[in-house]
Amino acid sequence: MSIDWYIALSALLFATGAMGILLRRSPIVILLCLELMLNAGNLALVAFSRMVGNQQGQVFALVVMVVAACEVVVGLGLIVAIFRRKLPLDVDELRELRG
């Protein structure tokens, strides 16, 4: 099977995630979309790794998974904190850092 399909799928997933981040306002959905983008990257790494024939790309994919797990911990923690303080769970409402 040609590498093209893998890359196309990866690009599709990445674009979906990016569109989700740009269009959705719920922090949870944004977090999900971020995961989608990371995994699109992972897919591309693994596919290239298969094509080249060594394991380095797959190792990178594992590292990205670890980073993603950490990021989810922080992100979810923030969301819980926002919820606890009874702030709106809406990124357009949370704009106190306006310059």
Q: Compute the Cα dihedral for 83, 86, 88, 94 and give only its sign.
A: negative
**Is the CB of residue 31 less than 8 Å from the CB of residue 76?**
yes
Q: How far is the CB of 25 from other proteins (least distance, A)?
A: 7
Minimal distance in Å, beta carbon 94 to other proteins?
A: 7
What are the residues binding other proteins (CB under 8 A)?
A: 18, 21-23, 25, 30, 91-92, 94-99
Whether 73 contacts 88, CB under 8 Å = no
User: Which is nearer to other proteins, 18 or 72 (by Cβ)?
Assistant: 18
Least Cβ distance, residue 45 to other proteins (angstroms):
17
